[in-house]
Structure 1
């Protein structure tokens, strides 16, 4: 195995490990565990697509030395994602506080197909963990500056597919019968906790982004 292949596999393993740590992406998937496979799948695709923005942005920044421009774009997208987290958090909390349905659960906010994709995208685009990974581990663990454009495209695709695989597995696990029965009985609590965490993540993300703009 060549040095490039070994570096790529190591970076993909680090990405998979980082994605396995519970965070805002997992809580979004959990909050949609009662919805159909297509909705859950589009959330996963949205999460992975945000990763494409990070990975391609980092690759282009290193390859063309446009780091400052890339950072500004990431910051703007991160602020938009933080705003969306506030909206999503408020919606989840409001749903948790509504009266229970006759089945004993609490009505989960229904997502259209377009909203499912955008939810996954904006929740991950504001994810400080993703920003840190692609800005540090991804950008420094691979020889991006010396790679061809074809190799860069391959790397971006590999990280996209890795994200689909990991988050798809999380989504499938949370939609299994045993897990759904467990979460169904605690749906109001899950929505309430998820909503509060979305608000915390939004504040943390916005604070981090704004902090990078302030003079040191």
Structure 2
């Protein structure tokens, strides 16, 4: 979910900003579209590579933690039992019940119990680099297609206005939906992404105008 929302948001912001900046530099309509497509491809690949490296590093860390935990279970199981018991006591169980729970869970799956309750690693939340990379790249491409499609269909003389307004609408919708799914305020989520999207497009439009005037 995180990778998908981040990818879609980045796809809209970066592609819309790129198109607005190129359009402000008085580029031709064909050049704007080619630049937008290149930005889509480059951005999707960049997001995939970055997410893969980031999540793979997380997976390596998790695997190192699990290896260390396995070694500790072999070297000193009594200490590991006390550690697990203390965790359950901290969650509200009596010492006797916590000790029994720790003993039974360790007998069933010791490394699973320690991974879940001590390290916070489970099958549901464990790092999956390939899945994150594909989700990030795919969502970036989907996000980037939106302003690119507007650029292809909008009148050339009003291109910047069309891109800016529709992209802010896309961003507000995405921010609101993402916030609602996450249990936060949709209005706050929409405002955050809309503000930063507007700022990004304004800055790139300014840069495009400056360089376009110089050239």
Give the TM-score normalised by the residue count of structure 2.
Answer: 0.37
Q: Which has the larger radius of gyration?
A: 2
Give the TM-score normalised by the residue count of structure 1.
Answer: 0.36
Instruction: Compare the two structures and name the one with the higher helix fraction.
Output: 2
